[in-house]
Structure 1
C-alpha cells in the first residue's frame, strides 16, 4: 500500500506557518485501487493570509470549527503507518508534518516532482496543475488538498504508463544514473519504473551510448558564392518580393537600403525601428545578400533568447526557402550556455550522489539524448540545481584543453567549427561582449555586425563583465574537491591543511563584510546590497590579509595543478577567478570599477565588481575596432533625440536614423491619466480601489506592469478572492508561477485573465491577435535609487535625475507601451496611474508614447462609467 497525500498551509515555512487542510489516500500499489481516504480541514489558530485564501479558497470561517492538528496527530500517524508516501514535492509536506510531531521521515517516498524533473524536462513548468494539463488529467479546484491528492495519484499512474513507451536506451541510461545513489528512495522509485528488468551498465557503456547519439561535427555542404565586384549594382529591394501574402512596407525597404549601404561602405549606424516596421527582415535580407556577394560573414546579435530563437528557427528558415539565394546560417551562444561533456562525465564519475542530484543528472542525461545544440537554457532548473549546473558549463573549463578526450563531441566546439561555413551567424549580446575578454575568442572574423535590442547594451555589458565571489560557493567547491580526493584515494592531508588555513583567513573577510553591511542596512531586509564606498577601506587595512589569502589560494592552485589523479582544470579556473575578484574588491585604487557587497538568506555574503563606464569600455574595445555596425531597437530615441543613448554608449562615430510607425495610433490607442487618485507614493489604497473596479468591468485582456513585487502582492491580496468569485483569473508573477506559466494561462482564457507582472513583462512579451486590450502602468519605471550600480553611475552626471534617471525610465516606459499595439488591427487603452507625469519633469515621459495617441485626463469615476457603457 502507498499513502498519497497533500497539505494546504498558510505559507512555506513550517517553523512559522500552519497546516490548514490534510488529504490522504491509501491505495494498492499494484492496481491503484483506493483502500481508504482521510480528508479534513485544520484550525491553524491564526488568521489565514488573504493571499493564501485567494489561492486555496479556504477562509477563516471555514476552519474556525475544524479540529487542531494536535488533536489529529495520532490518527494521522496511524493512517500512514510504515507505508511509503507519494506526493508532489513531497518533502515540503513531510517537513510540515514533522514540525507538528508527525515523524514520517523514515517512510520510503515517491515524488512526482522528482520524476517529472527528467520525464518531463521539456515542460516549461513542473507544478502539479501544469503537469496534469500535459497528461490530460482533470483537476477540479487546484490548491485544495483533496483535489491535489487525487490528481497526484493519477499523475503518478500516467507517468508510469507513459514511461513504458520510452526506448530501451532511456531505461538503461536511467538505471545507470539511479545506481550512482545509495538513497533508498531512488531505488524504490526505480522499481516502479521497471528498471530492474534492464541490464547493468558500467561507465564506458553509459558514455558510449550518449556519445554515439550526440555524434561529432559534420561539415556543411559547400555553397559557391557568386561574388559581385560592384555592390552598387545590387538592387536590395527586389529581394522583398515574396508574393501577395507578404506586405511591402515603405519604411522597411528604406531601413533595408540603409543597412545594406552601411555594410557596403563600412559605416556605423544606429536605427530606431518601431513595432510593425518589419525590422528583422529589414536587416536580415541585406545582411544575407551582402554576405553572399562580398564573401564576408555578417553577425546578428540579440539580447533575448526569444528573439534569437525567432530569427534562427523562424525568420532565417523562411528566407532560406523563399529568398532565392542559397546561404548557411548558424546560432552561437556564450560559453555558460553550453554543457561541457567533459564536465558532465567527470561529475558522473564522482558517484555517491544525493537524492536531488540524481534527478538533476537524469534530466541532463535524457536531454543529452535529444538536444541538437547542447544549450542549457533549453532546460529549466530549480535553485538547488544551479550549483551543479554551473559546474557543467563550458565557461568553467577550456574545452580545448589537451586533457579533454571529448573535444570532437563538445557542442561549443561544433558550434565554433560551424562558423567557418556560415554566411550569417546569430549570436547573443552575452557572447558578443564576454568574448571581448577572452584570450581565445570564439567569434572569428568579426567585421560586420547587426545588434538588435540595442537599448539593452548598457545593462548587458554591465552584467556580462560582472565578476563575483560568494563564500558559500567557495565552501561548496572545496567540499567537492575533498570528495574527489577521498574517492580517488589521493592523499588529502596537504589539501585539508590548506583548506583550513584558507578558511581561517577568508572567515575574517566574511566577518568584516557581514558587520559592514549590517551596519548600513536594516536587519529586516531579506536581501541586502550596497555600494562599497571609501569608508569601507578606512575601517580596515586589507593589504596584509589580502597578501596572505593570495599566497594561500596560489598554493592551492599549485597543489591541484600537479595532482595526477584527477583533472582539476575547472577548479583551478574558478580559484583564479576568486583571486581576481578579491584583488579588485579589496584594493581601493580601482576607480573604474563598481564594487558591490550583498547578503542573502539563501546564498550568504557575496562580493562582486563590474565596470563603471560601459560606453568607454565599448569605445576602446569594440566600436573603434569594428568595420561595420548597425545598432537597432524600437526604443532608442527620446523626444526624437539620440543624445542619451549616444552619450551612454559613446557612439560618436555612428550616424543616426529614425523611422516612424505606420500604425494609426490616433484610432488604435488611448492614454488615460486619472486626475483624482492622489500622489502615487501616498495613495496606494485609492489606486487599489480603482483597479478593483476597473478589473471587474474589463474582466480580462489586461496586463498590469509594476516596478516591485511588493506592489503586485498588495494588489493581488486585495483583489484575487473577489475576482475569482466573478470568474476572473488574476495571474500574479511569482505568486502564480513563472512568466512562462502565466503567459500560457493568460492565452488559454485571455477574456477572463489579468496579468500582474514586473520587470520581465515590460519587454519581450508579444500578446497578439487582439488578446491584449488594456495596459496598466502602475508606476513610472524608475530604477531603485539604492541600486549600487545606479548609484555609482549617477555620480557621472551633474544632474543625475534629469540626465540619467529620467531618460532610462522613458526608454523602459516605451518598451512597456510596446506590449499593447503589435499590429495594424490591434486597439487598446493605456492607463497610467503615476501622477508624477503631471510634474514639470514628468512632461518628458509623454515622449514615451507615440505621436498621435489620444490622451484623456478625467476623474477615475468618469473613466470607469464611460468604460462600463462601452463594454
Structure 2
C-alpha cells in the first residue's frame, strides 16, 4: 500500500447538501501505516446550528462565529488533498457537500461502508462507531470531524489488510463484477489484486456456467444414516435420566455453575412420560428452572432409543442459537448416547448456488446487487450453513437481491439439487442433515407454515416440543396472514420493465440469441405485449390503492394524524359508497393483471422449448418467470378474498399509514386453534408446549381454549427464586387513572424522575405506547442526565435492541425506556437492573381488527379475553427483573387499576408471591431506595 491516501470527514448542519452547510472538516493524509499530515478546521455555515446537531457534535454557534466560511476553507483543503484518493465512511454524503462547490470531483473515492459491507458480511452494523468497536479501533468524541477521519483511516487500514488476505479467485471476481457499477470498494480490491498478481500468482479459470463447488464446500449440516423408527417404542427408563441431573452427575460436568433443581427434575420427568406415553403436555416453568435441559435430555434419550425424531420449535433466534451453539453441543459431550442435532429453516433462508452462479455470469445492474454479491463471495467459503441469518443485509434493495438468490423456488427439489449441484446446495444439505437428525430445531413460523403447506420442508416427525409457546398463537397468525402493499406490487411489475431492461430484456437477449431470425421477431413481439400490459396495469394499481385509502379516510370522518388507522371490513363497511369505488378499482386491476400473467406464461413456455432443445442452461430465467407468475397469482387470489369473497374464518381490514399515506389491505386467520388441532393435536403422537408464562391466575384454562389443547396434561413448576425475599412490588396508590390523560402523564413523569434519581437509575421502564414513551423520555432526559444518569430510549436510539441492552448493561447509572418488544427477552443480571417500572397495564388496543374480531368470539370479551392476555403480558414484563438467585429488585406499578378496579386482582394474583406495598407517590423514591439498600 504505497500510494498516499486521504481519509476525510465532515460535520454539517443537516443531511441535505442542497440546503444544509458544513461546520467542520477533518482529514488525515497517510501512506501505508504512516500518518503524514492532518487537517482540521471549523467552518462558519452562515446560519444557526440546529440544537440537535450541537447535541450530537458539541459544536456551538459561538465556536464557529470566527471560523472561516467554506469559500475560504476549501482552497486549503484542496491543497491538502491534491490528487490523492479520498476515503470516507458513507463518502457520497461528504462529497455531496463538497462537489456542489466544485471540489474533489475527479479524485478516486473509497467508501469504507462498502468495503466493510463486503469484508465483514456478518457485522451487526456498519456505522463507523460500530465498525471501530468491532475492529478494536479507538474512537473518542465521535462526530468531531478529525476524530472520525482518524477512525476512518484506521478502519480502512484493517479492511485493506483483510482484502489482501482474500483468495486470488475472489479478488479477481470482485474486480470483474465491479467493472459494471459504481462501487465504493472497487479501488481497494483492484489494488489488492494488482499486488497479488505482481507477486506471481494467477487466478484459476472457471468454466462458464459451472457452479463453483468450493464456495459452497462448507454449507449445510452433516448428514448421517436415516432414522429407522420403532413401531412400538419402549418407554424411557427415568432412573438414568434422574442420575444425570444430580449434583456431580453428567450435566454438572459440562455446564458451569450447574445446580440440581427440583423444579427442573420434575419437568424432566413429565416430558419423559409424555414422550413415552404419547401424551400431550403443557408445562409452565418459572424463570430459573432450566427448562431447555429439562426437555432436551428426555428428548434426546427418547429419539436415540426409539429412532423417532423429536422436533424442537422456538420463537426467537436467540433461543435457537442457544440450543444449537451451547446446550446441544454440551449435551453431546455430557450424555452417553451419540445423537445428531440439526437446525432447519424455510427455503428463503438459504442461498441457491444455481441462481447465485447465474447472477455472477451476467453484468451487475445495481449497487445493491454488487454489495450482496460481494458479501456472498467473501462469506460463503467460511460459512457452515449458507443461512442468511449469518449475513447482515441492509435496506430493502439488498433484501430484494437476496430474494432473487434464495432457494425459495418451489420448483427446485432436493433430488434436482443432488443431480445438478453435486450436493453443494445449502438448503439441500440442511434438509439432508434434518432427515437424519435425532433432534431437529426449527422456528414457530416454519412449523405451522410447513404443516399447512402442500410443499413440505420438514421431514416426517411425530414428537414435538414447542418452547416459547406463549408466542405460538401470534406466530401462527403472522405466518398465515397476508398484506397487499402498493410499493411491493409496483416493484414486482417494474422489475419486468420493457424489452430494453429488466426480466423481459433477459428473455430477449438470452432466448432470442438462440432462435432463428424469424423467431426472434415473434419473441420481441411477445415481450413488447407484456411490457405494454405492464405499463397499463400500473395505472390501475395506483387507482386501486388510492381508492382503498379514501375508503379508510372516510371511515374515520376524514381525519388521520400521526398514527396509522385500521378499518375492519365488516358488512356495514362493505356497503358504503367508498367501498363500491374500491370494488370497481379492484375489478380493473384484476383484469389488468391477467394479460401480464398470461404473457409471462407464454414466455416461460418459449424458454422451456429452447431449453428442451439443449441449447443453453436457462434455469434461472425460467425460475424468475415462474416466480413472478406465482407471486402475481397469489396476490390476485388473496386480494380477491379480501375485497370480493370474504371468508368468515379470516379477519380483513384496510390500513392507512400516518398522515393518510401508504394504504394497504390485510387478512389474518380468525382462530388458530382449529389449525393447531388439525396439524398438531390430532396429527402428532406427543406435543409438549412450554414457557415461563402460559397460565393465568385461573391456570391453563385460557391458553387451552385459545390453542384447542383441550386434552393436554398440565404441569406448573415454580421458579427456584425466592420472590418473597428478593422482590418488592410498590403500587402507586395515589396516581390518577390513565383515563385522566394529561394529569396521569404529568404525575408519571414527575414520579419516574424522582424514583430514578433516588435509585441512581438501574431501571427498566416499560411502556404500552410509543407516544407516551417519547413524551416521557423528553421530560426525563434533562434532570436525569444532569445527575449523571444516562437515558436510553428505544425510539430515539438508532442502535439495535441488542446494542441498546449492551449499552445499558455497561453504564454504571442508566435508565432504559422500552415499549412492547422490551416486555420480554431482556436478560440483565445483577444490580444494573434493580428497578422495573410498569407505566400502564399492557392491554391490547381494542380497536385493532384482530383483537376486536377475536374478542367478539367471547361472551365476556373483557373478562375472558382482554384481561387474561394483558395478565400474561404483565407476567412477561415482571420476569425481566429477577434473572438469577442473587438478583434483588423493586417493581413499581404506576397504574393503580390493579387496586381500584375489580379486575385488578387478576393481575396481582398472576405474579409470583411477593411483598406488595401500596405507596403514595411522594414516598415511592425513598421506599425503593431504602429497600434496595437494605437488601443489597
TM-score of the two chains, using structure 1 as the length reference = 0.90
Following TM superposition, by how much is the alpha carbon of 1:307 offset from its aligned partner in structure 2, in angstroms? Answer: 0.8
Following TM superposition, by how much is the alpha carbon of 1:657 offset from its aligned partner in structure 2, in angstroms? Answer: 2.0
Q: Secondary structure at the match of 1:503?
A: helix
CA distance in 2 between counterparts of 1:221 and 1:770 reads: 50
1:399 aligned to 405, 412, 416, which one? 412
Is the aligned partner of 1:633 residue 2:678? no
Following TM superposition, by how much is the alpha carbon of 1:194 offset from its aligned partner in structure 2, in angstroms? Answer: 4.6
Following TM superposition, by how much is the alpha carbon of 1:433 offset from its aligned partner in structure 2, in angstroms? Answer: 0.7
Pick closer, same or farther for the CA change 1:616–1:67 going to 2, 3 Å. farther
Partner deviation per Cα, 1:588-610 (whole Å, 9 max, x = no partner) = 43222222434559994433322
Question: Retained in 1: the 8 A contact 2:236–2:302?
Answer: no
Residue of structure 1 in register with 2:39 after alignment: 37
Following TM superposition, by how much is the alpha carbon of 1:260 offset from its aligned partner in structure 2, in angstroms? Answer: 1.6
Pick closer, same or farther for the CA change 1:829–1:729 going to 2, 3 Å. same
Gaps of 5+ in 1: none
Is the aligned partner of 1:742 residue 2:815? no
Shifted more, 247-256 versus 219-228: the winner is 219-228
CA distance in 1 between counterparts of 2:540 and 2:231 reads: 63
Residue of structure 2 in register with 1:220 after alignment: 224
Pick closer, same or farther for the CA change 1:222–1:617 going to 2, 3 Å. closer
Pick closer, same or farther for the CA change 1:409–1:530 going to 2, 3 Å. farther
Residue of structure 1 in register with 2:769 after alignment: 708
CA distance in 1 between counterparts of 2:447 and 2:300 reads: 20
Residue of structure 1 in register with 2:597 after alignment: 554
Instruction: Kindly report which structure 2 residues correspond to 1:487-502, keeping only aligned pairs within 5 A, or say none.
Output: 487=506, 489=509, 490=512, 491=524, 492-502=527-537
Partner deviation per Cα, 1:417-460 (whole Å, 9 max, x = no partner) = 22332211111111101102321312232211111111001110
Residue of structure 2 in register with 1:837 after alignment: 898
Residue of structure 1 in register with 2:710 after alignment: 652
Question: Retained in 2: the 8 A contact 1:472–1:605?
Answer: no
Pick closer, same or farther for the CA change 1:212–1:142 going to 2, 3 Å. closer
Gaps of 5+ in 2: 253-257, 513-523, 608-617
Shifted more, 347-356 versus 359-368: the winner is 347-356
Residue of structure 1 in register with 2:520 after alignment: none
CA distance in 2 between counterparts of 1:724 and 1:170 reads: 49
Pick closer, same or farther for the CA change 1:217–1:589 going to 2, 3 Å. closer
Question: Retained in 2: the 8 A contact 1:42–1:69?
Answer: yes
Instruction: Kindly report which structure 2 residues correspond to 1:430-579, keeping only aligned pairs within 5 A, or say none.
Output: 430-482=445-497, 483-487=502-506, 489=509, 490=512, 491=524, 492-519=527-554, 520=556, 522-525=559-562, 529-534=566-571, 535-536=573-574, 537-542=579-584, 544-545=587-588, 548-549=591-592, 551-564=594-607, 566-567=621-622, 568-579=625-636
Number of equivalences? 863
Q: Secondary structure at the match of 1:174?
A: helix
CA distance in 1 between counterparts of 2:98 and 2:274 reads: 67
Shifted more, 467-476 versus 30-39: the winner is 30-39
Pick closer, same or farther for the CA change 1:591–1:215 going to 2, 3 Å. closer
Residue of structure 2 in register with 1:6 after alignment: 9
Shifted more, 839-848 versus 554-563: the winner is 839-848
Instruction: Kindly report which structure 2 residues correspond to 1:733-772, keeping only aligned pairs within 5 A, or say none.
Output: 733-734=794-795, 735-747=797-809, 749-772=810-833
Residue of structure 2 in register with 1:174 after alignment: 174
Following TM superposition, by how much is the alpha carbon of 1:378 offset from its aligned partner in structure 2, in angstroms? Answer: 1.9
CA distance in 1 between counterparts of 2:635 and 2:339 reads: 44
TM-score of the two chains, using structure 2 as the length reference = 0.84
Following TM superposition, by how much is the alpha carbon of 1:381 offset from its aligned partner in structure 2, in angstroms? Answer: 2.1
Instruction: Kindly report which structure 2 residues correspond to 1:727-738, keeping only aligned pairs within 5 A, or say none.
Output: 727-734=788-795, 735-738=797-800
CA distance in 1 between counterparts of 2:268 and 2:24 reads: 63
Partner deviation per Cα, 1:383-428 (whole Å, 9 max, x = no partner) = 2322222333333444318876337222222122223322111111
Question: Retained in 2: the 8 A contact 1:506–1:549?
Answer: no
Pick closer, same or farther for the CA change 1:574–1:729 going to 2, 3 Å. same
Residue of structure 2 in register with 1:237 after alignment: 242
Question: Retained in 2: the 8 A contact 1:813–1:848?
Answer: no
CA distance in 1 between counterparts of 2:371 and 2:233 reads: 58
Question: Retained in 1: the 8 A contact 2:25–2:146?
Answer: yes
Residue of structure 1 in register with 2:518 after alignment: none
Following TM superposition, by how much is the alpha carbon of 1:585 offset from its aligned partner in structure 2, in angstroms? Answer: 2.1
Residue of structure 2 in register with 1:23 after alignment: 25
CA distance in 1 between counterparts of 2:695 and 2:602 reads: 55
Residue of structure 2 in register with 1:854 after alignment: 915
CA distance in 1 between counterparts of 2:363 and 2:549 reads: 35
Is the aligned partner of 1:275 residue 2:287? yes
Question: Retained in 2: the 8 A contact 1:223–1:326?
Answer: no
Q: Secondary structure at the match of 2:689?
A: strand
Following TM superposition, by how much is the alpha carbon of 1:300 offset from its aligned partner in structure 2, in angstroms? Answer: 1.0
Pick closer, same or farther for the CA change 1:162–1:801 going to 2, 3 Å. same
Residue of structure 1 in register with 2:613 after alignment: none
Q: Secondary structure at the match of 2:355?
A: helix
Shifted more, 791-800 versus 718-727: the winner is 718-727
Residue of structure 2 in register with 1:387 after alignment: 400
CA distance in 2 between counterparts of 1:530 and 1:86 reads: 50
Question: Retained in 2: the 8 A contact 1:699–1:728?
Answer: yes
Pick closer, same or farther for the CA change 1:826–1:556 going to 2, 3 Å. farther
Partner deviation per Cα, 1:650-682 (whole Å, 9 max, x = no partner) = 222322222222211011111122234434432
Question: Retained in 2: the 8 A contact 1:762–1:812?
Answer: yes
Pick closer, same or farther for the CA change 1:699–1:137 going to 2, 3 Å. farther
Residue of structure 2 in register with 1:63 after alignment: 61
Question: Retained in 2: the 8 A contact 1:10–1:49?
Answer: no
CA distance in 2 between counterparts of 1:550 and 1:641 reads: 52
Pick closer, same or farther for the CA change 1:91–1:855 going to 2, 3 Å. farther
Shifted more, 147-156 versus 252-261: the winner is 147-156
Residue of structure 2 in register with 1:773 after alignment: 834
CA distance in 2 between counterparts of 1:288 and 1:28 reads: 58
1:582 aligned to 633, 639, 644, which one? 639
CA distance in 1 between counterparts of 2:18 and 2:898 reads: 45
2:380 aligned to 350, 362, 368, which one? 368
Following TM superposition, by how much is the alpha carbon of 1:360 offset from its aligned partner in structure 2, in angstroms? Answer: 2.3
CA distance in 2 between counterparts of 1:289 and 1:206 reads: 44
Question: Retained in 2: the 8 A contact 1:43–1:68?
Answer: no
Pick closer, same or farther for the CA change 1:223–1:342 going to 2, 3 Å. closer
Question: Retained in 1: the 8 A contact 2:828–2:880?
Answer: yes
Residue of structure 2 in register with 1:806 after alignment: 867
Shifted more, 853-862 versus 444-453: the winner is 853-862
1:610 aligned to 668, 673, 676, which one? 668
Following TM superposition, by how much is the alpha carbon of 1:229 offset from its aligned partner in structure 2, in angstroms? Answer: 5.8
CA distance in 1 between counterparts of 2:845 and 2:62 reads: 42
Pick closer, same or farther for the CA change 1:195–1:504 going to 2, 3 Å. farther
1:594 aligned to 632, 646, 651, which one? 651
Residue of structure 2 in register with 1:126 after alignment: 126
Pick closer, same or farther for the CA change 1:581–1:645 going to 2, 3 Å. same
Structure 1 vs Structure 2 CA RMSD: 3.5
Partner deviation per Cα, 1:265-294 (whole Å, 9 max, x = no partner) = 221121111111121111111112222222
Question: Retained in 2: the 8 A contact 1:225–1:293?
Answer: no
Q: Secondary structure at the match of 1:270?
A: strand
Question: Retained in 2: the 8 A contact 1:178–1:190?
Answer: no
